[in-house]
Structure 1
């Protein structure tokens, strides 16, 4: 390991994944974070849509503002 640290490209070499398992875990974490962000955005849109429904706004306007489809908005209406 000490010999590797002396090489000019040591910083690149030391950043390489140790194994395919480690690389797979890193990819999985990245994909998990992306999926979590998508779910969070969707939940935020649903919450805004619920607030708009409570205020009596039309499903068409809610769909336009939140970019949720009308079917999803109708499901939310039933939750009220």
Structure 2
């Protein structure tokens, strides 16, 4: 039986769904962290505390405060 050669692009194509899944998971994590920060903001938590818990920068927390 004749062996079929794999195209070098096949591996790249096979990795696409995995990379999209990983990007989706990362975006979901970022969204959850921001939602947690917003909840802490609404409860009156300090910027320093929110930054410590969420690992967001104080600048990002200030932006979230301004949006709400």
Deviation sequence 1:2-52 (CA, Å, 0-9, x none) = x6xxxxxxxxxxxxxx64444322211111111111111111000000000
What aligned pairs does 1:1-80 form with structure 2 within 5 A after superposition?
A: 19-80=7-68
- State the TM-score, normalized to the length of structure 2: 0.82
Q: Distance in 1 between matches of 2:44 and 2:13?
A: 46
Count of residues paired in the alignment = 66
- State the TM-score, normalized to the length of structure 1: 0.71
Structure number, greater radius of gyration: 1
Q: Which sections of structure 2, spanning at least 5 residues, go unmatched?
A: none
SS of the equivalent of 2:65 reads: helix
What do you get for the CA RMSD once the two structures are aligned?
2.0
